[in-house]
Amino acid sequence: MFVKLKTNVKLNKIVSILLLGVFPLLNAQVLPDLMPKTPNASQFTNYSKNNFGSPTISPLNTTNQNVRNQLLIAEVERNQQEQQMREKQAQALINDALHSFPETYSLPSYGNEEGANYYRKAFEKLRNMSSADFSVKKAIFAIENAFYEETENYDEFENTIKQTGDFLREKMNELGYDSKSNLAKNFLLFQFFSDTLKIKSKNLKHLPLTYDFEDYMGKDDWSKMFVKKLLETGKGQCNSLPQLYLILAEEIGAEANLALSPNHSYIKFQDDEKWKWYNVELTNGMLTTDAFILQSGYVKAEALQNKVYMHPLSKQQLQSHLYMNLALGYIGKYGYDEFVNEIISKALELNPSNVQAYLIKSNYTTIKVKYALDRLGIGKENFDEIKQHPRAIQLYKNMIAQYNMVDKLGHQEMPPDEYQRWLASVKEESNKQQNIQLKTKLNTIIPVKQ
């Protein structure tokens, strides 16, 4: 076994490290050591240091011949036993090493597939942005453009946003809203999404943006999730609508935050005194109460306590969310590989309670475990064999840890039809009433130009 390995030293690093560990084991027989340490798999690389130390108390130092002989025999026997044990352990380690060429424990990369490098580039672009103060517009464009393999024109996109911004500024002016008020800007933005807005003097008109029921989760076509698609068709869903809101808020200098709820995202903004928060439900163009979101029945107390749901995301948390979006795009187009893990790790570094990122990580680790077990030939019938593969066990444990984390953060899976039912319930009479009340209230408290 050892001989065979020696000829294969070039195989890979793991094996050569192992050999370094095994050689001193062989030497141990030659140089008797009175106090052999119990071999331990995790210590095997240290034997070189331990074994060549000075054997101060040796049976050879004793004067009595009989005693010496007895001691020597016992010594040899013990050493033989030790040796057998070590060989056994080394064998297990080597067996594992033979199976543990890196590709067993890491997923094959999609990096060489056509267009995949654009995602790398987008990832780099995001990484070069400050997490405290970055342009939402640029970040979202970079993410969507990676999907389109950088065929989109940024200037064109920026121009559209600027024109919309001009329209909004013009309308602010026409309505006589105070251009410094955050409340006024957000209320106008809300109307831009939900009502028909006209600027009489310039004969301009903007129709409300609507919800696209078709493939709203982007299962068949990921680009359905994009702001680009929303701008082109006037139809979006709960990902693109709030994102466009944030881009336009940035354009006109309004402060608004993204907030999450099960399978959903929406906008939160504050009044000028920073007392009261308002929720904007863009899929139906309505102002909603917290109770509406809670009525979904899928918000757990833990999710609120960990600030996963219904909490205004800070700039940094938003960036974490966008990284997660980038990863989803990559997964949609190519699949799970180590690059996904890289993106998700960054997302979790920015926001350790990003539950969606943990969900992706759970999937990623599951796929990885499955892949490794397939390669090792371990199935349900012979699952016990996983014990011989410490690295596989480690992967398995890591997978369980991800699921526990998702649980701990208070996530609860909401079935898509339940989600649709809940979203439709926004049109129930009580919610409509709330919307009208909130709108009327806002209409009366909007600061106007002095």
Residues that bind another protein (CB under 8 A): 290-291, 294-297, 299-302, 304-305, 307, 310-311, 407, 410-412
**Which of residues 134 and 292 has its CB atom nearest to another protein in the complex?**
292
Phi, psi of 300 (to 5 degrees): -90, 155
Distance of closest approach, residue 408 Cβ to another protein, in angstroms: 8
Distance of closest approach, residue 214 Cβ to another protein, in angstroms: 29
Distance of closest approach, residue 288 Cβ to another protein, in angstroms: 13
Distance of closest approach, residue 122 Cβ to another protein, in angstroms: 34
**Which of residues 160 and 295 has its CB atom nearest to another protein in the complex?**
295
**Which of residues 16 and 289 has its CB atom nearest to another protein in the complex?**
289
Q: CA torsion 301→303→305→307, rounded to 10°?
A: -150
Tokens of 284: 């139906």
Distance of closest approach, residue 291 Cβ to another protein, in angstroms: 6
Contact present, 219 and 273 (Cβ < 8 Å):
no
**Which of residues 6 and 421 has its CB atom nearest to another protein in the complex?**
421
Residue 81's SS3 state is helix
Q: Which residues contact 46 (CB under 8 A, 6 or more apart)?
A: none
- Residue 201: C-alpha distances to residues 159, 173, 206, 252, 350 (Å): 22, 11, 14, 21, 46
Which of these, 293, 271, 297, lies nearest to 281 by C-alpha position? Answer: 293
Distance of closest approach, residue 263 Cβ to another protein, in angstroms: 15
Distance of closest approach, residue 146 Cβ to another protein, in angstroms: 34
Strands 264-270 and 210-211: unpaired
Question: What would you report as the CA-atom Rg of the chain, rounded to the nearest whole angstrom?
Answer: 32
Tokens of 6: 């020696």
**Which of residues 170 and 290 has its CB atom nearest to another protein in the complex?**
290
Strands 277-281 and 264-270: antiparallel
Tokens of 344: 């998700």
**Which H/E stretch holds residue 24?**
helix 13-30
**Which H/E stretch holds residue 172?**
helix 154-175
**Which of residues 108 and 297 has its CB atom nearest to another protein in the complex?**
297
Distance of closest approach, residue 441 Cβ to another protein, in angstroms: 19
Residue 343's SS3 state is helix
**Which of residues 187 and 422 has its CB atom nearest to another protein in the complex?**
422
Distance of closest approach, residue 438 Cβ to another protein, in angstroms: 16
**Which of residues 176 and 297 has its CB atom nearest to another protein in the complex?**
297
Alpha carbons 309 and 270: distance in angstroms, whole number: 17
**Which of residues 152 and 290 has its CB atom nearest to another protein in the complex?**
290
Instruction: Tell me the β-bridge partners of 60.
Output: none
DSSP 311: S
